[in-house]
Amino acid sequence: MSMSQNRNLTQQLTHTLGVSIVNGKYPVGEGMPSEAILCKQFEVSRSSTREAVKMLSAKGLISSRPKKGIRVLPETEWNLFDSDVLSWILQSKPSLSLLREFTQVRAAIEPNAMKLAARNATPKQLKQIEEALFRIAEAEEGLDDQLDAHICFLNAILQASGNRFFIQFTQFVKAALKVSIRYNNQTLGVKNTDVSFHADVFDAIKSGDEKRAYQLVEDILADALALIESRI
């Protein structure tokens, strides 16, 4: 078997086991099947199984020790900023309480990112934000993907903030927007803020109005949190 095939099998097994752990198929604190049993159960090589176990350990989902076997760790140990872990949580039918937590983190990050973008954005970065704004307008007409357009807009602003830690939040933002858009539209019955709101944010950033850029996003996320709280 080629290295690429082994890698694919490892990724598939990691995904399958990760989803199962997040869904509670393997209870916290209890033992999981051994590598040898997993190897037979999923019909993959021992090396692929071993690598999958290592990956899940690195993500904080399990511990694997000689003579003690594989055990599922409590959620407090999981790396919730890992893009795989986030996607597995999203697949496990996220609740409004999870949406609240996502939105709380967004409220802690995004207004400050807007303010820093208003202060630090280069002409090239402003152009990238403007292009993302155009995509949002296109998405409203059904000519682009709504989720991708919103992610592109927000990630362009995180890049423009100039803060290397904010830039690292791009995968988290992608996951947060996925769950936010899904719940705002389907559960809360609220559509995403329209292109005019994003245009106002862009104008504030372009004009260097840090206070307005901050306030626009802080207000919209505060409203979103209030709505979520009212439904919990």
Per residue in 61-116, pLDDT tens?
Answer: 999 988 889 999 999 999 988 888 988 887 776 678 888 888 898 899 999 999 99
- Same domain? For 44 and 130 the reply is no
Please give the backbone phi and psi of residue 64, each rounded to the nearest 5 degrees, phi first. Answer: -135, 115
Res 204 pLDDT > 80: yes
DSSP bridge partners of 64: 70
How would residue 183 be classed by pLDDT, with cut points 50, 70 and 90? low
Give the pLDDT of residue 191: 54
Residue 222 lies in a domain: yes
Residue 149 lies in a domain: yes
DSSP bridge partners of 65: 69
- Same domain? For 182 and 155 the reply is yes
- Same domain? For 19 and 116 the reply is no
Residue ranges making up the domain that contains 226: 94-231
Res 57 pLDDT > 90: yes
How would residue 192 be classed by pLDDT, with cut points 50, 70 and 90? low
- Same domain? For 108 and 205 the reply is yes
Q: Which residue has the tokens 């609220």?
A: 190
Q: Tell me which H or E stretch contains 71.
A: strand 69-72
Average pLDDT over residues 53-66: 95
Three-state secondary structure call for residue 62: strand
- Same domain? For 100 and 214 the reply is yes
Looking up residue 112, the CATH number of its domain turns out to be 1.20.120.530
DSSP bridge partners of 71: 31, 63
Res 179 pLDDT > 80: no
Nearest to 198 by CA among 228, 161, 154, 145: 154
pLDDT above 90 covers a percentage of the chain that reads 60
Res 190 pLDDT > 60: no
How high is the mean pLDDT of the chain?
88
Question: Are residues 58 and 14 in contact, defined by beta-carbon separation less than 8 angstroms?
Answer: no
- H-helix segments, 59-140: 83-91, 96-120, 123-140
pLDDT digits (tens, 9 = 90+) for 101-141: 888 988 999 999 999 999 999 999 999 999 999 999 999 88
- Tell me which of 27, 47, 77 is where a domain ends: 77
- Same domain? For 37 and 112 the reply is no
How many domains, the chain?
2
Please give the backbone phi and psi of residue 2, each rounded to the nearest 5 degrees, phi first. Answer: -75, 165
Residue 114 lies in a domain: yes
Residue 86 lies in a domain: no
Question: Are residues 221 and 173 in contact, defined by beta-carbon separation less than 8 angstroms?
Answer: no
Q: How far apart are CA 177 and CA 172, in angstroms?
A: 9
Question: Are residues 117 and 161 in contact, defined by beta-carbon separation less than 8 angstroms?
Answer: yes
- Same domain? For 200 and 99 the reply is yes
Q: Picking from 1-5, 112-116, 144-148, 228-232, which range would have the lowest pLDDT averaged per residue? A: 1-5
Residue 87 lies in a domain: no
Average pLDDT over residues 9-16: 93
pTM of the model: 0.80
